[in-house]
Amino acid sequence: MDHEIFGIYKLTDNGEPTTKDVLKPGNKMVAAGYCMYGSSSMAFTGTGVHGFTLDPSLGEFMLTHPDIKYVEKCKFPKDGSPAKSIAREPSLS
The per-residue pLDDT for range 2-13, each reduced to its tens digit, is: 788 888 888 877
Query: Residue 78: which pLDDT band, with cuts at 50, 70 and 90?
Result: low
Question: Is residue 61 within 8 Å of 38, Cβ to Cβ?
Answer: no
Is 0.75 surpassed by the pTM of this model?
no
Domain boundaries, the chain: 1-93
b/e 43-63 (16+ beta carbons within 10 angstroms → b): bbeeeeebbbebeeeeeebee
Average pLDDT over every residue of 49-61:
87
Q: What residues contact 58, with CB distance under 8 A and at least 6 apart?
A: none
Average pLDDT over every residue of 15-39:
82
Average pLDDT over every residue of 37-57:
79
